[in-house]
Structure 1
Amino acid sequence: MTGPLVVPGDRLPDNAFQPVRPAYGSASLAEVLPSASAVLGVPGAADTLGLRERLDGVDRIAVLLVDGLGAYQLPVMHPYTPVLNELVTGSRTVTTGFPSTTPVSLVTVGTGAPPGAHGVLGFTTRRPDGRLLNHVHWNDDPDPAAWQPVPTRFELAEAAGVRATQVVRPEFEGSGLTVAAYRGAAFRSASEGAELADQMLEALAAGPSLVYGYHADLDKTGHLYGVDSRYWRMAAQGVDRLVDRLVHGLPPRSALLVIADHGQLNVPVESRYDMADDPALSDGVVTVAGEPRVRYLHAEPGATDDLIAAWRSVMGGDAWVMTRDEIIDGGWFGPVPAGHRSRVGDVVIVCQNRAVALASGWEPPPVGRLIAYHGSVTAAEMTVPLLIARA
């Protein structure tokens, strides 16, 4: 993308910018697969979300995760998504974990555990050797089973005799993130919406099972063109066609859950703070991780206090600027074992309002030219739907 950024309005209400805490243990993404597993009879799984009341008699469940389908996006999509609109009636919401970003949420869903426990704590995090790990572009270094040690809910389902299947794009087979989030589930590939629906339905038809599918187009389009742009509306229509195909193809005794990993919000040019514009924002920084809405700064010894003061001076009310201990002790990740603490920066910038903290020179230039972002603690980013359909 070249030329000036065109940022459309995303029609978010004022309350979309209120901070929301992750509802670990009661109503977060970490409770979705355990609750579904309980309905399917997996021993030890707790139905914290109360799904059994809606799903009595169901012995096969499909979970579709639509990347970027935040609860605050549903009203914006309403004119283009008649099938989703029907599912919204009587639905509920859950929260993401923190940060509200794709790899964190996918592993939270797959493990049924808060981020602090599974250790995938950002889009990018610093490794013990000082190198940066991008959780989306991750192969086998570090070993996903060691970096993310929590058993997945698919492994537990298979051990209990419930068939588990994942349906994702073919290029994701065997990736570090796929192994960390979905290990234990049989792999099926699907490149587009109709194929995704057909593969999920075929897996459901084979017998009692837990089937998971992932759809990325809405999030990608929001990043590139903005929520409620013309292209985003087209992607929303694609989501509706996918859900329509699933709902009307469900075999007997089956149900569909539709969830998301986060919402999105559009960021105007004037709300973009860049480390490259002020040397004080990077003095003493050795590694920049996280992403624009939640930035992790790893600092040289003795540089933390000056960095905090500089960032607070520049961003003011557009960010919470915290130490590692403050953000962890505040419970945002859930309990964090000692081995995972260093994955969080010495300084953590949690953007508020519509602000982002860019890192030109530290990360690829296209990151600073996106239109919609996510990752922080606002309701728009943290609140996602839980939609239910039965055969």
Structure 2
Amino acid sequence: MPPAEAVRPAYGSGCLSDLLGSVAAAQGVDGFTNVLDLPRADRFVVWMVDGLGWHNLVSEAEDAPFLADQALAPATDPGEPRTLTAPVPSTTTTSLTCLGTSTPPGVHGMVGYAFRLPGAKGAVLNPLTWNLPHSPRMVQSTPTVLERLEDQLAVTTVSLARFADSGLTQAALRGGQFHGLSDETDDAARCEAVVAAAERGRRSLVYAYERRLDLVGHTTGWRTREWREQLRSCDRAVREVRAALPDDVVLIVTGDHGMIDVPQDQRLLIEDEPDLIAGIDCVAGEPRFRQLWSDREDAVWVARRWADVLGERAWVRTRDEAIDDGWFGPVADGLRARIGDVLVAMRDDSALMTRTARYEYGMVGMHGSLTAPEMTVPLLVYRP
């Protein structure tokens, strides 16, 4: 099988970073552009399914008839998009911040699952756990779409209650009201909350987040009975909320990334490879998309050495090369150092493990790289 080709993030034309801005424009809010050509409406629900990739969905279409029927139905408009790209890296932190701010990673600065903060003396921030004392608003200062809309629309987030004050929420999706769910398995409560929020005010925007598909995929892999069962549950929940929503509400279902299963024999431990670990001062990112910093060696030489070892298994780029290639969109000068000196994105079904992140050893499903299964997510628009 030939190595996978990279999927370029479609910033400004068909990326997750274009979704909420297009929704706002479709609601008639000034200052936004409807680049996705969404239907005009006063009420929108954006339903984010963490880990729902386009390729994962259509491969298991029988287990998600409501979602798959919309994904695979003949388009009434030949130009109607059914997919978006994730940003680079294709990971929750970056994707949700792109969604929330309607900007590429190079603008908002949440450039990966875990990345160095220059102002923190080289410490690595993991935004999912927010392990550093830095303020989320300092780390990510770009106003969110929800903030920009909260004085003009009834804006609501429906998600787990414990996420209300999390660092990632405050960085990526702050703004509007937050309706916290105490039990994420209670789909009836989620449906009720979404419908009530959609009915608030003359115009409304609801962002609903569901993470269970991603959790199962990481634990068991996506080609498993457990994953298909969770996909069926997700499909049923979306069908029920669409049926319960008022007729004037546009429901949009999307994902933040797809997923690839990584066999045990395709895992390379960085510390066991002298030509990889030599001269590396910091390994961050995640197994499918590593970010490397070297305070002692030139990045070009580090990249060349990693490329020689990994060959066609990976795309290896220096920071400057990745920026020039459009991986992060335009990058603000003050944010460049957050991106690794060298970036390593896996092309096949392999992964780069490290002893500094042993908790990653138990994952089966992974993501982060630029392959089509990881980068392509559905854009399912259920019109009134």
TM-score, scaled relative to structure 1: 0.91
How many Å separate the matches in 2 of 1:81 and 1:158? 34
Superposed displacement of residue 332, structure 1 = 0.7
Question: 1:267 touches 1:373 (CA, 8 Å); kept in 2?
Answer: yes
Q: Which residue of 2 aligns with 1:153?
A: 145
Question: 2:251 touches 2:383 (CA, 8 Å); kept in 1?
Answer: yes
Q: Which residue of 1 aligns with 2:98?
A: 108
Q: Where does 1:186-265 land on structure 2 (aligned, <5 Å)?
A: 186-190=177-181, 191-192=183-184, 193-207=187-201, 208-265=203-260
Q: Where does 1:260-271 land on structure 2 (aligned, <5 Å)?
A: 260-271=255-266
Deviations 1:283-309 (A, max 9, x none): 222211111111011112225455334
Question: 1:42 touches 1:156 (CA, 8 Å); kept in 2?
Answer: no
- SS of the counterpart of 2:245? coil
Question: 1:250 touches 1:390 (CA, 8 Å); kept in 2?
Answer: no
Q: Structure 2: which amino acid aligns with 1:98?
A: V
Question: 1:125 touches 1:134 (CA, 8 Å); kept in 2?
Answer: yes
Superposed displacement of residue 260, structure 1 = 0.6
TM-aligned CA distance change 1:151 to 1:16, over 3 Å: farther
Deviations 1:263-290 (A, max 9, x none): 0011122221111221332122221111
TM-aligned CA distance change 1:297 to 1:185, over 3 Å: same
Q: Where does 1:71-220 land on structure 2 (aligned, <5 Å)?
A: 71-88=54-71, 89=73, 90=75, 92-128=82-118, 129-138=121-130, 141-159=133-151, 161-190=152-181, 191-192=183-184, 193-207=187-201, 208-220=203-215
Question: 1:16 touches 1:380 (CA, 8 Å); kept in 2?
Answer: no
- SS of the counterpart of 2:253? strand
Question: 2:282 touches 2:293 (CA, 8 Å); kept in 1?
Answer: yes
RMSD (Å), alpha carbons:
1.7
Q: Which residue of 1 aligns with 2:313?
A: 318
- SS of the counterpart of 1:248? helix
How many Å separate the matches in 2 of 1:168 and 1:16? 38
Instruction: List 4+ stretches of structure 1 deviating above 4 A.
Output: none
Question: 2:97 touches 2:172 (CA, 8 Å); kept in 1?
Answer: yes
Deviations 1:217-260 (A, max 9, x none): 11111111111201101110111121012110111311100011
Question: 1:16 touches 1:379 (CA, 8 Å); kept in 2?
Answer: no
Q: Which residue of 1 aligns with 2:78?
A: none
User: Structure 2, unaligned stretches of length 5 or more?
Assistant: 76-80
Q: Which residue of 1 aligns with 2:369?
A: 376
User: Structure 1, unaligned stretches of length 5 or more?
Assistant: 1-13
Superposed displacement of residue 59, structure 1 = 1.1
How many Å separate the matches in 2 of 1:250 and 1:140? 40
User: Are residues 1:40 and 2:23 paired?
Assistant: no
Q: Structure 1: which amino acid aligns with 2:47?
A: L
Superposed displacement of residue 338, structure 1 = 1.2
Superposed displacement of residue 197, structure 1 = 2.0
Question: 1:247 touches 1:390 (CA, 8 Å); kept in 2?
Answer: no
How many Å separate the matches in 2 of 1:120 and 1:209? 27
How many Å separate the matches in 2 of 1:306 and 1:23? 30
How many Å separate the matches in 2 of 1:369 and 1:23? 32
Q: Which moved more, 1:247-256 or 1:257-266?
A: 247-256
Superposed displacement of residue 116, structure 1 = 0.6
- Aligned-residue identity in percent: 40
Q: Which residue of 2 aligns with 1:10?
A: none
How many Å separate the matches in 2 of 1:188 and 1:17? 41
Superposed displacement of residue 340, structure 1 = 0.7
Question: 1:76 touches 1:228 (CA, 8 Å); kept in 2?
Answer: no
How many Å separate the matches in 2 of 1:76 and 1:202? 34
Superposed displacement of residue 196, structure 1 = 2.1
Equivalent residue pairs, number? 371
Superposed displacement of residue 389, structure 1 = 1.2
Q: Which residue of 2 aligns with 1:27?
A: 14
Superposed displacement of residue 85, structure 1 = 2.3
Question: 1:284 touches 1:303 (CA, 8 Å); kept in 2?
Answer: no
How many Å separate the matches in 1 of 2:315 and 2:15? 23
